[in-house]
Chains A and B, each alone.
Chain A
Amino acid sequence: MASVTLENVSRMYGAITAVDNVNLKIKSGEFVTLLGPSGCGKTTTLRMVAGLEKNTGGRIAIGDNVVSDSDKGYFVPSERRRLGMVFQSYAIWPHMTVFDNVAYPLRIRRRPDTEVRDRVMNALRLVEMEQYAERPSPALSGGQQQRVAIARALVFEPEVLLLDEPLSNLDARLRTQMGDDFRALQQRLKITALYVTHDQAEAMALSDRVVVMHGGKILQVGAPEEIYRRPENRQVAAFFGTPNLLNATVKDCRPNGGQYFKLSVEGQGWSGDCHAATEMPKGADVTVMVRPENLHVRDAGQVNGDLSWSGEVSQAIFRGSHRSIMVKTPAQTLHVEASSLSNVDIGRPVTVAAPVEAAWAVRN
């Protein structure tokens, strides 16, 4: 397995920049996900690594080998990059059996028949599809097709495995299961994987690192928890779930002893403490992000936390696993995810509180 390096990689379509100066280093055996809304350039980035698109700027290396360098006009076509790829549509060739589909990368490279047989059956065993080897491939369900596509991508032991939204065509239940299975497989085989998705939950559950992209640029790279809890800016913060984003002014800023800074902030009708990545001057405008699941609803006046807001319940929706409560405060309406057992009456005055670790400030 090899690493992947992207240096200042860009892709222009006429005057439109689809990918803008992307720098990324994927370590050997690492699972990296490109995450972003549609049109953010994530698929284009993946296709440039695959050699299906040519980068108009920068260079790409797989392992120690440069595969594309636009300045020098050097370009290695897809078939010589030794990659495996799983397509969104799976691209299972309908005129071949499951076995023939998986054997394709080996047969193209003229491997002896015995080796082909062994390796195909091994690959099929990895994805638990060995009993379907002789099936005509159109007779497969979506989940089975996806397994075959993975087996085909792995059979040649590629340098890097590329995956383009491979789970998006499956139903929700199967998606979670296939995702977990695939993550386990990836860790067992130590595959370098570059994965593209627009689904945040999928990205967080599968990846070692997540790359959040927007408008062709990388917004932030980091471990899932890091990105979720400590976004670098408002855009990344807003991308995951439906966080409460509050405008506030910095009153005081001091080191926390660790790698963060502790801020005292004041908003419209509320004040309290929160964390931030960088030092902020007094009087700076910031956005404080608090996730709905980290907020608690208490009886009015009962303050139990580092941040608190007073308001009244305007809406409560039972969602099965939890209850969504809307609390109207002088600053704005806060969204709280409470236990589904909690019962709140609409119109009741309450206090909403959050611990200091749950509040994260980014500069506006």
Chain B
Amino acid sequence: MTIIHNRPLDDIAETAPTIAGNAFTRAFSGGSLWRLIGMLVLILILGFLTIYPLAMLLYGSLHSTPPGMAGEFNLNGYRSIMTTQNLIVLANTIGISLAKTIPSLTIAVFLAWIVARTDTPFRGTLEVLITLPFFIPPILTAMAWGMLANPQVGVINMVWRWLTGGTDPLVNIYSYGGVIWHMCQYSIPFLFLFMVDAFRAMDPSLEESSRMCGASRWTTFRKITLLLMLPVLTSSFMLSFIKGIETFESALFFGLPAGIKVITTDIYESINHRATPDYQYATSLSFAIMGLMFLLVIWQWWMLRGKSFQTVTGKGFRPSVMELGPWRWVTFAFCVLFFFITVVLPIGQLMLGSFFRFFGFYTYDMLTLEHYRAVFANSEFWRAVRNTMVLGLLGATATMALGAVVAYISVRTRWRGRNLIDSMAWLPWMMPGMVLGVGFLWAFAMLPGPIPIYGTIWALLLAYIALGTPVSVRVMTGAYHQLSYDLEECSRVHGATWAQTMWRIMVALAWPAFAVGWVLTFFGIMRELSASILLYSVGSETLAVVLMKLWANGNAEQVSVIGLMMMLLVIVFRWVQLSFIKARISKL
């Protein structure tokens, strides 16, 4: 058995192949020409998704007329955003984000501690329940809370009046408190998900040695546990704060009716709610908020520089679990209460709303199924379902495929240009959906005529891919980091080519992460409102947009029906994700 590629010692002719690049890539890839073409295509795709809308944002902010019309360049946009009114908007944005981050972080730390470090009963189930709100589209809970805590006809206030006999409402969702409250419902599970593994993976010997040195449980918690968690806590804080600035739904539903404006709603209003949409104002504001986000991200980097998140060593630590005694039922009750308020109450309200003729009049003779009939007979609804599904499936697949390729190149190769594509893929991280929406609005309008993307479903798809790429790259980067190079090299030495190794080893091992990322991206697309509402047009509405339109028309009953459908979808997907994918992962 001789191999044709091996030649006798003295017979190496000048026909011997020469391969460019450094040793590692030469050993691990095919020809360099294909690689070069591949990289160029990738840079073009990423450039179109991130750099192009960003550049158009700058262009638009200096352009005096709406996208696609002749106009002149001036600084009027930036002049018009420099108003005292906008200072209040800025203060609102930052203040609300801070006000929701601090309590959210406190509660999330407490919940993470309960689930990871105490002997509270049914912790496994509680973990699933606590994180569920994160997967529910915010627009649904926003509408549900709009009905629950409406000062006049909200269920909570009706019950309160009935109990006390008074006439004043207990809570009014249309207020600062309401906006913050709704944001907290999303921040808490998000932060919990972000932190719980750090709590779980902490090396217990670090705490035990503190106890052995004579420190009490409480001192140990303060001086060791909390300080070890500090890098995670800091980054959680920053992340939550940045997310708070990007949030759109809470401020749209509860802020605008009360006259509370934040930057995202201000951009939205200036395009959708003015007699003539002021694109230059909106674009300038978008560019300004992106500058703010950029500074925040830089600050985050600076704060976290050199800090290691690695209290996690990858070893299967069994963290020391604190025995709470009877208190464990208190912690259990706290978790259940959280689940009840954030999931059961809104779902209950949607059910209530969907079965009664008029929202707010809950009597027996008002019971009806007419809203279900109306929704199911509505062709716009079915079109939106189809659009959302198509966008979700295509978008999640494309986003994850892009993320998997970008992450592979930046983590596992030494190819020239890998840092460039990594940074390009990361750019949308500092663009809120609303800002990216405005950027794409310009980007599509400026495309040459024969490329009719604007106003089609593909416009939404491209925006979703851009929005999802930073997360998909992070997910896949994490997955690749966990696979040692040996696994790949071993396959090569034993006779597999680069392509065979990719398929049989890397894809086979990384697919659970891919699947997890896919589901996350799918959820992300299903809940997306801020970019969709700028980029949709008749025929390409998503479910979130249809909900929004129905709500604006005061049709809370049909909103409830559609909301319930979406909720059902979320729960089914989440269940599939947990039972199917987790089973596959734990098998590994």
Contact = CB atoms under 8 A, between A and B. Distances in A.
- Same complex origin of A and B: yes
Interface of A: 50-54, 61-67, 69, 72-85, 87-91, 93-95, 104-105, 108-109, 136, 138, 152-153, 156, 162
Interface in B478-516: 484, 486-487, 489-497, 500, 504-505, 508-509
A87 B490 contact: yes
Nearest to A157: B1
Contact of A153 (B24, B494, B496): B494
B23 interface: yes
B258 interface: no
Contact of A85 (B7, B12, B23, B490): B490
Contacts of B14: 72
A65 to B, nearest CB: 3
A52 B508 contact: no
A7 to B, nearest CB: 9
B6 interface: yes
B12 A72 contact: yes
A91 B484 contact: yes
A104 B504 CA distance: 10
B23 A53 contact: yes
A65 B6 contact: yes
B26 interface: yes
A15 to B, nearest CB: 15
A52 B27 contact: yes
10 contacts: A54-B27, A63-B6, A73-B16, A78-B493, A79-B494, A81-B493, A85-B490, A87-B490, A104-B496, A108-B504
Interface range, B side: 35 or more
Contacts, number: 121
A54 B12 contact: no
Interface of B: 3, 5-9, 12, 14, 16-19, 23-24, 26-27, 484, 486-487, 489-497, 500, 504-505, 508-509, 587-588
Contact of A82 (B8, B24, B495, B587): B495
B12 A95 contact: no
B19 A75 contact: yes
Given A53-B27, A61-B9, A66-B7, A138 B492 contact: no
Nearest to B508: A95
Contacts of A52: 27, 489, 492-493
A54 B23 contact: yes
Given A62-B6, A94-B588, 18 more contacts: A51-B492, A52-B27, A52-B493, A54-B27, A66-B12, A72-B14, A73-B17, A73-B19, A75-B26, A76-B5, A77-B27, A80-B3, A82-B3, A83-B493, A87-B489, A91-B489, A94-B509, A95-B508
Closest 5 CB pairs of A and B: A65-B6, A54-B23, A91-B486, A91-B490, A74-B16
Contacts of B492: 51-52, 77-79
Contacts of A88: 486
A51 B508 contact: no
A152 B24 CA distance: 24
A91 B27 contact: no
Contact of A64 (B8, B26, B27, B497): B8
Contact of A76 (B6, B486, B500): B6
Contact of A105 (B484, B495, B497, B509): B495
B495 A108 contact: yes
Contact of A152 (B12, B486, B494, B497): B494
A285 B486 CA distance: 48
Nearest to A11: B23
Contacts of A84: 493-494
A74 B12 contact: yes
A357 to B, nearest CB: 43
Contacts of A50: 489, 493
Contacts of A74: 12, 16-17
B588 A138 contact: yes
A74 to B, nearest CB: 4
Contacts of A61: 9
Contacts of A73: 16-19
A50 B18 CA distance: 19
A338 to B, nearest CB: 40
B27 A51 contact: yes
A77 B509 CA distance: 23
Nearest to A56: B23
A112 to B, nearest CB: 15
Contact of A79 (B7, B17, B493, B505): B493
Contact of A89 (B3, B19, B486, B497): B486
Contacts of B500: 108
Contact of A78 (B6, B12, B489): B489
